[in-house]
Amino acid sequence: MELTQLLYFCAVAKNLHITNTAKELHIAQPALTQSIKRLEKELGVPLLASNGRNIKLTEYGKFVYKKINPFIETINNINDEISELSKTENNTIRINLSAASYLITQAIIDYKKQNEHIHFRIYQDDDLIDYDVIISTKPYYHNAPNELNNTYVCTEKLYLAVPGSSKYSNKNSINLVDVKDENFITLGTATSLGLICDNYCGLAGFKPNIIFQSDNPTSVKNCIAANMGIGFWPQFTWGPLNSPDVTLLPIKTPVCQRDIIITYNSNKTDNSHVLDFYNFLIEYFENKRFEQ
């Protein structure tokens, strides 16, 4: 059986009129009739029977129509479904987010106010390559040459978060070596932020005593607030402090910071939405840098 034969048969079975069906399909009536006869010959049974001036389905025809019509309808709907999928895909921006999550969330909220038709999907996967926009970090990237589709947008300070009841909470700033004997609370080392604790404490000349690790930033924040220990607080990734139980201290030495990079990927048929949002983010971060 050929797909064209099945398409023609279903059209005839639906209309029960050869002439009208031929016009609908934009083919000659004899060609349509011959196609149906070839299908009947292949199946070895009659599918259509005369009904006065019209035609009707035989019991075999009703059976074949019932079996193949859902399949034919699926085929007929493919163009519309592909068109809708393409529209949805081009209106959806996928973001791989490993830094500045607080600011990115605020930026998306502002962007959606003027672009309600745009949808967002947020991922946090360092191995993800099928993205539209990625927000990542690199040390001292702003001193490096520009790379294609990469834009340095700001430098994120890393504060030391201490419980509000600790002996450090009344200080204006601190040297990291001063807290070498304290208990640290951090994110897991599988995250870029989780590696910061070891790296910067190492620069200060000591290995941190990590008593709690979690992949959940909220858990880390809550444990610091509960006076279990101290930890690093990224300026734009975690946003402003909203707890009276935690104090953020600027770190004098070593300089604890990281550069935030925004990258876009030209991987869509229509890349205009991605590029527009990418440019919006660049301007958004520029404004935030100006506010600091």
* Pair (231, 131) in one structural domain: yes
For 17-40, write each residue's pLDDT tens digit: 888 989 988 999 999 999 999 999
- More confidently predicted of 81 and 91: 91
3-state SS assignment for residue 208? coil
For 249-285, write each residue's pLDDT tens digit: 999 999 999 888 898 887 665 678 888 999 999 999 8
* Pair (79, 99) in one structural domain: no
* Pair (38, 120) in one structural domain: no
- Band (pLDDT 50/70/90 cuts) for residue 63 is very high
The pLDDT of 218-232, averaged and rounded, is 89
Q: If we measure between CA atoms, which residue out of 153, 169, 146 comes closest to residue 235?
A: 153
> Which one of 31, 59, 89 terminates a domain?
89
Structure tokens at 250: 């600027």
Q: Please state the domain count of the chain.
A: 2
> Which one of 89, 120, 151 terminates a domain?
89
Residue 35 belongs to a domain with what CATH number? 1.10.10.10
- Band (pLDDT 50/70/90 cuts) for residue 177 is very high
* Pair (59, 149) in one structural domain: no
Structure tokens at 191: 């995250």
User: Mean pLDDT, the chain, as a whole number?
Assistant: 85
* Pair (160, 202) in one structural domain: yes
Residue 206 belongs to a domain with what CATH number? 3.40.190.290
Q: What contacts 127, CB < 8 A, 6 or more positions away?
A: none
* Pair (111, 204) in one structural domain: yes
* Pair (126, 37) in one structural domain: no
**Full residue range of the structural domain in which residue 77 is found:** 3-89
Q: Specify the pLDDT at position 190.
A: 63
Exposed / middle / buried, residue 116 (Cβ in 10 Å: 0-12, 13-18, 19+): exposed
The pLDDT of 223-233, averaged and rounded, is 90
* Pair (35, 139) in one structural domain: no
Structure tokens at 107: 């930026």
Exposed / middle / buried, residue 203 (Cβ in 10 Å: 0-12, 13-18, 19+): middle
* Pair (78, 126) in one structural domain: no
For 116-175, write each residue's pLDDT tens digit: 989 998 987 766 567 889 888 887 776 665 666 778 888 889 999 998 888 998 899 999
> Which one of 55, 73, 89 terminates a domain?
89
